[in-house]
Amino acid sequence: MRFKDQTVIVTGGGHGIGRAIALAFGREGANVVIGARGRERMEEVAAELRAMGTRPMLCVTDVSREAEAREMVGAARAEYGAIDVLVNNAGIAGPTGLARDIPVDGWSETIGVNLSGAFYCSRHASATMIERRRGAIVNIASVAGRIGYALRTPYAASKWGMIGLSHSLAAELGPYGIRVNAVLPGSTEGERMNRVIAARASAEGKPLDEVREWYVKDIPMKRMVTEAEVAEAVTFLASDAASGMTGQAVSVCGGFRMQ
């Protein structure tokens, strides 16, 4: 029970990797604050967390709006008294297509949710951590933040930015005992990856099976990683077992060969 009675905020915690992260912290005894734009799926995760004996809290939040990110952090602090861990997981896949054809609002929304949202949540959560001179922030970036990713320019740019955000915050917050790291998932089995594959298949006019194989061919383990595997890396980096780690970008990708 590494996080017993600690308060952990997980943005985008209603489904996919975020759900796996929320449940992983719940199993370790944390009271999990889930922030997401839709309530229905958050309620399902909250029911699972309550069955573990924890006290989850739900915040309908659009992290791309700073006021809402601030309100979520304030509500968590009012309910639990402190924030021990922030996991910036909220993110969208963004549009698929050539950069010259992508609508400007598709670019803006992707950067707003994936990168600005992490910035807003971090600036407000870290203010409460500084007072206690302790805390951990884990940003969910992507291996796309280390490669050129044709047809996914907004997404890749946002994830490159998140890695830079993680390094910079680690340098700023280290003197206050606050650690900041990033987890970089590779292709991850689940609903989101299925949608990504479908969008690329449509954009390139290729069969789904061919595109799925394209995502796997450069992975030495010859499979996609699982949401649970990503969640395990997150809980490790947030725990005291990683007390000497900050400013790191840790890939969970099956050994994907970075181009």
DSSP 115: I
Q: Which residue in the block uniquely carries the two structure tokens 């949401």?
A: 227
From the candidates 80, 155, 176, 215, give the one annotated as an active-site residue: 155
Instruction: Assess whether 215 carries a catalytic annotation.
Output: no
DSSP 116: I
CA distance 12 to 191: 14
Q: Which residue in the block uniquely carries the two structure tokens 């997404």?
A: 155
Nearest to 42 by CA among 23, 63, 25: 23
Alpha helices in 11-152 (DSSP H): 16-27, 40-51, 66-80, 104-111, 117-132
Asked whether the beta carbons of 77 and 8 are under 8 A apart, the reply is: no
Q: Which residues lie below 8 Å from residue 232, measured CB to CB, with a gap of 6+?
A: 24
Catalytic residues: 155
